[in-house]
């Protein structure tokens, strides 16, 4: 899903695996694991994707940088 954001270029969600895939505007991709669908839906509805990431995702879910 593309969205206008100064931080997030694209976000995808796999409900079966509960993974949130974030492509940052820098081109770096991170996979956040164990993210409930409700949290993803809240992020989609959020006015600021970057702020949501900082307060609701980062430091709360295991992640992996994709090379």
- What is this structure's pTM? 0.89
Residues whose CB falls within 8 Å of the CB of residue 22, separated by 6 or more in sequence, listed in order? 8, 10, 11, 29, 30, 31, 32, 53, 57
* Cα–Cα distance measured from residue 40 to residue 37, given in angstroms and rounded to the nearest whole number: 5
pLDDT in tens, 50-59: 999 999 999 9
Q: Where are the domains of the chain?
A: 8-66
pLDDT in tens, 7-65: 899 999 999 999 999 999 999 999 999 999 999 999 999 989 999 999 999 999 999 99
H or E segment and range at residue 43: helix 37-45
């Amino acid at each position: 899903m593309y969205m206008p954001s100064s931080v997030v270029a694209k976000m995808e969600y796999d409900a079966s695996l509960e993974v949130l895939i974030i492509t940052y505007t820098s081109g770096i991709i991170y996979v956040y694991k164990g993210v409930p669908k409700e949290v993803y839906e809240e992020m989609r509805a959020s006015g600021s994707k970057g702020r949501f990431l900082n307060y609701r995702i980062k430091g709360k879910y295991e992640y992996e940088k994709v090379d």
